[in-house]
């Protein structure tokens, strides 16, 4: 049997008897939760904090081993007499701030409001079914952001317009290729090539005064900023294996971006140095 007095009645949380999950139930839930949270782009410290917060709210103890593609999780009762272990693979989803935020919020709701475990599971199900952000809106905002970067780097209005169109085309292509499950490294090379060729419009037709800025900033939307930031966050928190894994992922994507950009510049006869 997987139940003790501490499982049934929690003096700390004062939850009704029926709301307390067993170690097994909580472990299975937390392994799913952790797999989703890490898959959505959370850092290791965020994962540890959220999982510990939930476990403490249910008067349980949790130990974790976070690997780049798997999470090994053991939940034990307060007196450590009962424990349950689960290993789950990280959900390979696109980075989603929305799901990430909602999962973090769920952990606070559990800790603050002491919501019922069945409610927790229901809310988790709802969160995991969150639809992705509107792709047209994302397309427009990414293009506008990249055009703004062009301006920040000293590009004129014409260069901004060219960067906007180049990003629009490249990002749209990225969305289509990603939907069709094309390898992300191939996607980065193709999109960087397309964006850099279109970004070279300024120089090709002699339209504006800042063609270099236009071609340079036309691929900025592909820079893997979140993996780089997460890798440094993990490194600061001494999760070196995850930090190195994320850093290598980000470096490979950056290399693919560079290949595409160099290909585009070579085809457009743009001097690199």
Partner 1 sequence: MNVPLITWVCIAVAMIMLVLIRIFLSAHEHMKESNKLTSHSHVAVARPRHKILEIGNEREEFFAPGDRLPGNPDYYGDDDN
Interface positions with partner 1 (CB under 8 A): 42-43, 45-46, 49, 53, 57, 97-98, 100-101, 104-105, 108, 111-112, 129-131, 133-134, 137, 169, 172-173, 176, 194, 197-198, 200-201, 204, 233, 237, 267-269
Intra-chain end-to-end CA distance of the chain, in Å: 70
- Provide, rounded to whole angstroms, the least separation between the CB of residue 248 and partner 1: 21
CA 158 centroid distance within chain: 33
φ, ψ of residue 85 in degrees (nearest 5)? -120, 140
How far does Cα 57 stand from its chain's mean position?
26
The nearer residue to partner 1, 20 or 43, going by C-beta atoms, is: 43
| Shortest Cβ 28–partner 1 spacing (Å) | 23
* C-beta closer to partner 1: residue 172 or 244: 172
CB closer to partner 1 out of 87 and 267: 267
Question: Residue 19 has which token pair?
Answer: 């709301």
Instruction: Provide the minimum distance between the beta carbon of 79 and partner 1 in the complex, in angstroms, as a whole number.
Output: 22
| 171, 142 contact by CB (below 8 A) | yes
Q: List CB contacts of 141: < 8 A, sequence separation 6 or more.
A: none
Closer of 119 and 134 to partner 1 (Cβ): 134
Tell me how far, at minimum, the Cβ of 150 lies from partner 1, in Å.
Answer: 19
Partners of 64 in beta bridges: 73
Shortest separation between residue 244's beta carbon and partner 1, angstroms: 20
Task: Report which of 2, 48, 28 is spatially closest to residue 88, judged by C-alpha positions.
Answer: 28
């Amino acid at each position: 049997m997987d139940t003790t007095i501490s499982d049934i009645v929690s003096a700390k949380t004062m939850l009704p008897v029926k709301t307390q999950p067993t170690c097994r139930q909580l472990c299975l839930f937390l392994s799913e939760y952790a797999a989703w949270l890490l898959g959505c782009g959370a850092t290791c410290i965020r994962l540890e904090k959220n999982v510990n917060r939930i476990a403490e709210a249910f008067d349980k103890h949790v130990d974790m081993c976070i690997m780049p593609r798997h999470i090994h999780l053991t939940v034990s009762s307060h007196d450590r007499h009962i424990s349950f272990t689960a290993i789950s693979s990280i959900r390979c989803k696109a980075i989603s701030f929305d799901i990430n935020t909602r999962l973090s919020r769920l952990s606070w709701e559990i800790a603050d409001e002491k919501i019922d475990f069945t409610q927790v599971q229901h809310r988790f199900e709802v969160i995991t079914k969150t639809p992705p952000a509107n792709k047209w809106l994302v397309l427009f905002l990414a293009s506008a952001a990249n055009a703004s970067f062009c301006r920040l780097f000293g590009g004129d209005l014409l260069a901004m317009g060219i960067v906007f169109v180049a990003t629009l085309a490249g990002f749209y292509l990225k969305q289509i290729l990603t939907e069709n499950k094309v390898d992300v490294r191939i996607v980065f090379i193709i999109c960087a090539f397309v964006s850099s060729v279109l970004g070279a419009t300024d120089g090709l037709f002699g339209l504006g005064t800042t063609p270099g800025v236009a071609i340079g900033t036309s691929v900025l939307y592909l820079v893997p900023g979140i993996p780089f930031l997460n890798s440094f966050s993990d490194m600061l928190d001494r999760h070196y294996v995850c930090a190195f894994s994320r850093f290598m992922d980000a470096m490979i994507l950056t290399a693919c971006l560079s290949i595409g950009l160099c290909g585009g510049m070579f085809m457009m006869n743009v001097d690199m140095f």
